[in-house]
Structure 1
Amino acid sequence: MSEITRVLKTFIGYLKRPDLYPELGRKIIKNTVNRGNAFKGKEKTNSWAAERAVSQEEAISTLFGFEINRFRDEFRDVLTDAAQREKECPVKMGGPGALELIYYACEFASAQKVVETGVAYGWSSLASLLSLAKRNGTLYSSDMPYLAQDGDQYVGYVVPENLRSHWKLFRFADKESLPKIFSENPVFDVLHYDSDKSYNGRVWAYSELYKHLKKGGVFISDDIGDNSAYQDFCEKNNIETTVVEYEGKYIGVFIK
């Protein structure tokens, strides 16, 4: 699909969904007036992250007190089936991230309620749900429709049916999804951010999510090296954060 075709298809997809008009307006502003803010402070934050980065294994051991290898052993069959489903999926989306970090964050917090932004295939959703199902908990997810790919039916594709009763999926932009989620449940045990990568989008979402995280809960943000929003947020709120280097990218995680 050419870039022009993708943009046109996305725009038409928005026009068919009046409930997404607010996000369309924000995207137009983001890609015109605020275009330069997307990577604000990127060089500064990559240097900052590189100086303090640790492995996923070290972060899980230090923060949560768990042995990382148990996850792959305990859920070998589930993960193998999920990988096969991703392989068979006709729509290509983001692959699995630091699944162990998410799973053990939920285990550490004895999570009953988790909120995540960004779903795609549903790998991070799967990691949370494998923990939440033990306590009959619920995962609340925010994810925009894949308007250019006709991929809506494949969002969360790797999540098996037996876990879906613990999952509530909100198909709007974060600025519409999160207020709906917080009206259903105001306090969460674990937060996982992996959606709008822009500086302004992150600044807004981090602040909103942090308000709804319980004391002792875990905050995780993927791709913090895209710009300085995460570093700025932590410094503004005097948060001591761990930085995880995973597959050439940086993840931020801290316990409130």
Structure 2
Amino acid sequence: MSEVTRVLKTLIGYLKRPDLYPELGRKIIKNTVNRGNAFKGKEKTNSWAGERAVSQKEAVSTLFGFDIEPFRTDYADALKTATQKEKACPVKMGGAGALELLYYACEFTNAKNVVETGVAYGWSSLASLLSLTKRNGMLYSSDMPYLAQDGDQYVGYVVPEHLRSNWKLFRFADKESLPKIFDENSVFDVLHYDSDKSYNGRMWAYEELYKHLKKGGVFISDDIGDNSAYQDFCEKHGIDTKVVSYEGKYIGVFIK
């Protein structure tokens, strides 16, 4: 698909969905007036993150007191099936990510309520649900429709049917999804951010999510090296955060 075709298809998708008009307006502003903010502070934060980065294994051990090795053994069948489904999917989305970090965050907090932004194939959703279903907990997910491709039917594709009764998926931008989620549940054990990568988008969402995280809860944000939003947020609130180096990117994680 050419860039022009993708942009046109996305625009047409927005125009067919009046409920997405607010996000369309924000996208236009982000890509014109605020275009320079997307990578604001990137160099500063990559230096900061690189100096303190540890492995996923070390972070999980230090923060949560777990060894990550059993995860791949205990859930070998579920992970194998999910991998096969991803390979068979005709639409390409994001990869699996640091599944152990998410799973053991849920185990550490004995999570009953988790919120995530960004779903794609549903790998992070799967990791959270494997823990949540032990306690009949609920995962609340926010994910924008895939307007440039016919991918909506494949959002959460790797999540097996038997886990879906513990999952609520909100198909709007975060600024519309999160208020709806917070109306249903106001306090969360684990928060996982993996959606709008812009500086302004992150800063807004971090503040909103943080307010709804319980004391002792776990906050996780993917791709924190894109700009300095995560670093700035942590410094503003005096948060001592861990940084995980994973597949060439940085993940931020802390306990409130």
TM range (shorter): over 0.9
The residue that corresponds to 2:167 in the other structure is: 167
Q: Distance in 1 between matches of 2:150 and 2:29?
A: 24
The residue that corresponds to 1:132 in the other structure is: 132
The residue that corresponds to 1:105 in the other structure is: 105
Q: Distance in 2 between matches of 1:132 and 1:159?
A: 13
Q: TM-score, normalised by structure 1?
A: 1.00
3-state SS, counterpart of residue 251 of structure 2: strand
- Offset of 1:23 from its aligned partner? 0.1
How high is the sequence identity, in percent, across the aligned residues? 86
- One-letter amino acid matched to 1:5: T
The residue that corresponds to 1:237 in the other structure is: 237
Q: Distance in 2 between matches of 1:67 and 1:76?
A: 16
The residue that corresponds to 2:5 in the other structure is: 5
- One-letter amino acid matched to 1:121: Y
Q: Distance in 2 between matches of 1:148 and 1:54?
A: 36
The residue that corresponds to 1:60 in the other structure is: 60
The residue that corresponds to 1:35 in the other structure is: 35
Q: Distance in 2 between matches of 1:165 and 1:184?
A: 16
3-state SS, counterpart of residue 38 of structure 1: helix
Q: Distance in 1 between matches of 2:125 and 2:11?
A: 28
Q: Distance in 2 between matches of 1:129 and 1:19?
A: 29
Q: Distance in 1 between matches of 2:232 and 2:148?
A: 33
The residue that corresponds to 1:155 in the other structure is: 155
- Offset of 1:101 from its aligned partner? 0.2
The residue that corresponds to 1:212 in the other structure is: 212
Q: TM-score, normalised by structure 2?
A: 1.00
- Provide, for residues 60-118 of structure 1, a one-character-per-residue CA deviation record: whole Å limited to 9, x for no partner: 00000001101001000000000000000000000100000000000000000000000
Within 5 Å, give how 1:238-253 maps onto structure 2. Answer: 238-253=238-253
Gaps of 5+ in 2: none
- Offset of 1:150 from its aligned partner? 1.1
- One-letter amino acid matched to 2:199: Y
The residue that corresponds to 1:141 in the other structure is: 141
Q: Distance in 1 between matches of 2:47 and 2:22?
A: 35
- Offset of 1:196 from its aligned partner? 0.1
3-state SS, counterpart of residue 245 of structure 2: strand
The residue that corresponds to 2:179 in the other structure is: 179
Query: How many residues align structurally?
Result: 256
3-state SS, counterpart of residue 254 of structure 2: strand
3-state SS, counterpart of residue 220 of structure 1: strand
- Provide, for residues 102-155 of structure 1, a one-character-per-residue CA deviation record: whole Å limited to 9, x for no partner: 000000000000000000000000000000000000000000000011100000
3-state SS, counterpart of residue 91 of structure 1: coil
3-state SS, counterpart of residue 207 of structure 2: helix
Q: Distance in 1 between matches of 2:194 and 2:95?
A: 12
- Provide, for residues 7-27 of structure 1, a one-character-per-residue CA deviation record: whole Å limited to 9, x for no partner: 000000000000000000000
Q: Distance in 2 between matches of 1:150 and 1:248?
A: 29
Gaps of 5+ in 1: none
